[in-house]
A and B are shown apart, each in its own frame.
Chain A
Amino acid sequence: MATMVMNRVLRHESILGVLLVAALVVLAAQSEHFWTTDNLLNQGRLMAEVGLIALPMTFVIVTGGIDLSVGSIFGLCAILLGVFWQNMGMPLPVAMIGALIVGAVAGLGNGFIITRFKVPPLIATLATLALYRGLAEGISQARSVRGYPDWFFVLGQGEVLGVPTQLWLLIVCFAIAAFILGMTTFGRTTYAIGSNEVAARFSGLKVDRAKLLIYGASGLISGLAAVIFVSRVSTTRSDMGTGYELDVITAVVLGGTSIFGGRGTIIGTALGLILMQALKNGLALSGVKGDGTIVVIGAVLIAAILVGNLLSRDGDG
């Protein structure tokens, strides 16, 4: 059983890996600016927010759920960071922690609705998508907050040893997430819930607690991404993060995580993320305009899953 799963996993991730390498080669050939350290590091910086959120999203989708409200939690935390710091006068580090806490609470709210009231995750997070965004707009009354101190911008615009700060953070979180999902009991619980929730419950696994933690983490990381984003653009707005959920879900699904649950790896998500960012950047550099890039990403998503499905037909019923 384990070998079959491993085979399955390796097959999709390997196809993705090959696709990624092929894409990188083609894109590098199209534009000399693509394959430069400067550009690659910059892209690493730009994909940090979506990348961070994609990590807990992988867990969420592996359990068979989904979280559409990450973009709204992102916006809410961003705006509350400003509100805490400027309107309520908290010191900036406290405000940052406050924003993270808000994210976690919002995520736990999602988890609560899903576990206690048994509302399907798609609907629950669809509702909270509107609710949290609405709270962001209402609380902030659409005023932006600006004028952060310089040290704050190190997070989003600075570098450590030549690599953008948030990229280090992304790598560290990626390692932690990969470890949790792949090598701990919690990770195996996650897979079990996705494969067959009823069986998992009957096996004595604490399904509800796991789900609460996962959705809570999703909210917390969205808050973290929001803090990084505010630091990168030096202002807060209530419309930040709109549409992020689609980008994140595309990266995760592209990475081989099955939307039905039970299958998926962090490494797949990472590959999917890099492929998406490479396409967006490389295509733009080779002269394709914004709208064309969107079309290509959509086509690649369908094609990647298509190929994966066709090739795994023989391995799985």
Chain B
Amino acid sequence: MTAETMTRPVPIRRWKSVFEAYGQEIVILGVIVVLCIGVWLYNPRFLSGNNFLSIFHSNAYIAIAAIGMSLVIISGNIDVSVGSLIGVLGTIAGTMAVNGYPIILCWLVPILIGMVINAGVGVLVAYVRIPSIVVTLGMLSILKGGLISVTGGAWISGMPPEFMIAQFRLFGIPSSVYFMVVLTVLAALWMKYSVFGRTVYAIGGNPEAARVSGIRIQPSIVGVFTIHGLFAGIAAVLFATQLQVIQSTVPPNLELTVITASVVGGVSILGGTGTVIGSTLAAILFAAIGSSLVFLNVSAYWLRAVQGLMILATVLADMARRRRI
């Protein structure tokens, strides 16, 4: 190391490395900003406080579910049943609330159930070696059919106001937004700096190397799925308390939206890379697109096509960026 290298300006290199590590997140943030400015020029009400807030608020639960999903995908697996799971857990929460159970239980029990169910999935994946897509494909059907069988299609209404946690406001901002931000930051920090977090990246990146390094893969996978269940449970409680009624059928395509948020957010389906910050930003981006299409008077028929183009463009950008590395 010569005197020259030691005196080379550090800031540029640090910028570059930040960019390489967080490139995808920065791209998404860039797109959000460009989109918001564009739509705002067309119709200033787009960035009004109410609208801005409702973009965050209405899709917060998707961002939270995407945190858990990102973990699963980073570890090299996938879960296509999360939409049905949220529907089931939300219904459990609502039913408990209507039947007068203590509110705190109505919030916590569904989360616990979500963790248990997904731990079961994790066991099937890790110990019985059934590929995660197969297990979760089966779970999707079981949960979806089970939900209708049990509820008979009836909607749940008449829940007490104390239960509606997603509607509590602090300084005028709904609690779901706080949940989304806090959970994202906590999860991101944890994934990056904790042993478990780095284990998940290692398993996803190169399972053989991870195993040979002494990482116990199977319990870790069960752990990943259990934590995914935790986030799904929180998302379900928020989902259940957003409106005065809970629909007994599962929101269509919820699992696809959550997976897309994770993937567009930079979590590689090959496993091993990506952050939860990216998936949260991607979830916000989708909400913004949905809203902006209404503001731009785009014929609603083209909404799906635009979303598809978005996903494609973001992924291609990611691929292009990666090949540099």
Contact = CB atoms under 8 A, between A and B. Distances in A.
- A–B contact with Cβ pairs below 8 Å: the answer is yes
A298 B269 contact: no
Interface string B137-160: 111111011111100000000000
Interface stretch (B27-35, B216-224, B311-319): B311-319
Interface stretch (A144-152, A216-224, A300-308): A300-308
Nearest to A301: B138
B311 A123 contact: yes
B309 interface: yes
Give the secondary structure class of B's interface.
Answer: helix
Interface stretch (A1-9, A124-132, A194-202): A124-132
B149 A291 contact: yes
Contact of A253 (B128, B134, B308): B134
Contacts of B147: 291
Interface string A110-150: 00010001111011101111111111011001100000000
A119 B137 contact: no
A151 to B, nearest CB: 32
Contacts of B128: 306, 309-310
A129 B309 CA distance: 10
Contact of B269 (A120, A301, A306): A120
Given A298-B140, A301-B134, A302-B135, A141 B301 contact: yes
Given A141-B301, A302-B134, 12 more contacts: A117-B319, A129-B308, A131-B305, A134-B308, A141-B299, A258-B131, A292-B145, A297-B141, A298-B139, A301-B138, A305-B134, A309-B130
A138 B305 contact: yes
Contact of A126 (B144, B263, B303): B263
Nearest to A313: B129
Contacts of B137: 246, 249-250, 253, 298, 301
A18 interface: no
B304 interface: yes
B259 A309 contact: no
Nearest to A132: B308
Contact of B130 (A132, A138, A141, A302): A302
Interface in A61-100: none
Chain A contact residues, majority secondary structure:
helix
Contacts of A297: 141
Nearest to A250: B137
Contact of A295 (B134, B142, B303): B142
B311 A138 contact: no
A302 B124 contact: yes
Q: Which of A128, A142, A246, A259 has the most CB of B within 10 A?
A: A259
B274 to A, nearest CB: 12
Contacts of A138: 299, 301-302, 304-305
B133 interface: yes
Given A291-B148, A305-B134, A309-B128, A134 B306 contact: yes
Contact of A306 (B124, B144, B304): B124
Given A134-B306, A294-B144, A302 B316 contact: no
17 contacts: A119-B319, A122-B78, A126-B311, A129-B308, A131-B304, A131-B312, A134-B303, A135-B305, A137-B302, A137-B305, A246-B137, A290-B145, A295-B141, A296-B145, A298-B142, A302-B130, A302-B139
A183 B141 CA distance: 35
Contacts of A126: 256, 259-260, 263, 311
A150 B54 CA distance: 52
Interface string B273-300: 0000000000000000000000000010
B308 A130 contact: yes
Given A138-B299, A249-B137, A130 B305 contact: yes
B243 interface: no
B209 interface: no
Contacts of B138: 298-299, 301-302
Contacts of B142: 294-295, 298-299
A294 B129 contact: no
B18 interface: no
B105 interface: no
Contact of A128 (B270, B302, B312): B312
A106 B106 CA distance: 47
B17 interface: no
Given A292-B145, A295-B145, A295-B149, A131 B134 contact: no
A298 B135 CA distance: 9
